[in-house]
């Protein structure tokens, strides 16, 4: 089976899983958790393209997520813009800001790049808190209308679940196609060695800027959907802690793996919900689980699943023996 056919098969399997899951859940509360997991997965796929494939770390993706959310919130709730226009404006502004930020920051690398993007995230967080007349300040921004597309308002969690699941599938498909394209090969070359990539004729600055802006746009798509789902946004949802959590999702899911990004996002979004029953030791259990995952599955969830599949295949399928006449 060709690589493209495998990608299509994986996408079809994921779409089928998304379609079947609601009917297996005991109540709608789990739907809301999965919706947030899908939104996080959109951001993490974009961040994995930047970190896992291009080797550029960002601690500011929580800010891009929030920038898109606040933009559509203010435009639609305070200025009466159509929801579709507000969503487009949110994603577009996020991409433009990412482009502007990339001009100075992508001249850096490693820890310096991480610190620069962290500084950007902190600045945006402070603006969200201090621009009270626009953002509502620490108390948050309320009254955001529910998402409406082509005259249909997404009122129920089930409708929003299928919407976010469909958008996530499309973004995963786009990421998989990008990885297999010339741009994807350029990203991997840059990750391996920037000097070798430059010697091969790759426009390093252009490629890094493109993937930085694209990863921010992924966060922007998730941000506008988040705002119109909860009808409320607050600075605390987009701070440094969230940006670090996104990095953990990338690493835990599996670097340079689109499906690992999805798995890491779903796992870390759902895990706190399952640990609420252990409220006295919830934080300790959360940390212990992460440590155990890093120790026993160092290549992430995607790498662990791949190793398990190979091991099962080796056990279940008989070894091919040479034919003797």
Q: At residue 151, does pLDDT exceed 90?
A: no
Q: What is the pTM of this model?
A: 0.92
Most confident listed range (88-102, 290-304, 309-323): 88-102
- As given in the structure block, the two tokens for residue 54 are 């291009």
Alpha-carbon Rg for the chain in angstroms:
21
Q: What sign does the CA torsion over 296, 298, 301, 307 have?
A: negative
Instruction: Please report, rounded to a whole number, the percentage of residues in the chain having pLDDT higher than 90.
Output: 59
* pLDDT tens digits, 39-49: 999 999 999 99
Is residue 290 within 8 Å of 248, Cβ to Cβ?
A: yes
Strands 232-233 and 148-149: unpaired
Rounded to whole angstroms, the Cα distance separating 79 from 303 reads 47
Closest among 20, 39, 37 to 167, alpha carbons compared: 39
Return the structure tokens found at 224.
């506008």
Dihedrals φ, ψ of 225, to 5°? -65, -35
Tens digits of residue pLDDT in 75-105: 999 999 999 999 999 999 999 999 999 999 8
pLDDT tops 70 at residue 145: yes
Residue 320 pLDDT exceeds 60: no
Using 50, 70 and 90 to split pLDDT, how confident is the model at 59? very high
Q: Phi, psi (5° rounding) for residue 146? A: -65, 150
Helix or strand run (H / E) with residue 194: helix 194-199
Q: Identify whether the C-beta of residue 203 lies closer than 8 Å to the C-beta of residue 285.
A: no
State yes or no: pLDDT of 283 exceeds 90: no
Is residue 271 within 8 Å of 264, Cβ to Cβ? no
| Contacts with 256 (C-beta within 8 Å, 6 or more apart), sequence order | 48, 52, 53
Instruction: Show Cβ contacts of residue 94 under 8 Å, excluding neighbours closer than 6 positions.
Output: 64, 67, 68, 71, 216, 217, 219, 220, 223
Rounded mean pLDDT of the chain?
89
- Alpha-carbon distance 58 to 77, whole Å? 30
Whole-number pLDDT of residue 256: 84
């Amino acid at each position: 089976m060709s690589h493209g056919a495998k990608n299509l098969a994986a996408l079809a399997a994921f779409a089928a899983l998304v379609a079947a899951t609601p009917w297996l859940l005991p109540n709608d509360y789990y739907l809301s958790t999965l919706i947030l997991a899908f939104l996080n997965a959109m951001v993490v796929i974009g961040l994995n393209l930047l970190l896992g494939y291009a080797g550029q770390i960002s601690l500011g993706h929580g800010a891009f997520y929030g920038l898109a959310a606040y933009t559509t919130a203010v435009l639609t709730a305070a200025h009466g813009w159509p929801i579709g226009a507000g969503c487009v404006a949110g994603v577009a502004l996020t991409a433009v800001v990412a482009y502007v930020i990339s001009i100075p920051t992508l001249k850096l690398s490693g820890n310096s790049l991480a610190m620069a993007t962290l500084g950007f995230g902190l600045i945006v967080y402070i603006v969200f808190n201090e621009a009270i007349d626009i953002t509502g300040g620490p108390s948050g921004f309320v009254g955001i209308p529910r998402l409406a597309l082509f005259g249909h308002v997404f009122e129920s969690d089930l409708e929003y679940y299928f919407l976010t699941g469909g958008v996530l599938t499309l973004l995963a498909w786009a990421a998989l196609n990008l990885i297999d394209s010339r741009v994807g090969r350029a990203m991997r070359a840059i990750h391996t060695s920037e000097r070798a990539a430059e010697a091969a004729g790759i426009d390093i600055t252009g490629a890094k800027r493109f993937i930085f802006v694209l990863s921010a746009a992924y966060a922007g798509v998730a941000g506008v959907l988040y705002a119109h789902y909860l009808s409320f946004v607050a600075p605390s949802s987009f701070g440094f802690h969230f940006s670090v959590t996104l990095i953990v999702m990338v690493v835990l899911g599996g670097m340079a793996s689109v499906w690992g990004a999805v798995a890491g996002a779903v796992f870390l979004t759902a895990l706190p919900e399952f640990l609420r029953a252990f409220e006295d030791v919830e934080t300790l259990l959360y940390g212990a689980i992460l440590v155990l995952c890093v120790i026993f599955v160092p290549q992430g969830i995607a790498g662990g699943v791949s190793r398990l599949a190979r091991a099962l295949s080796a056990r279940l399928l008989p070894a091919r023996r040479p034919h003797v006449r």
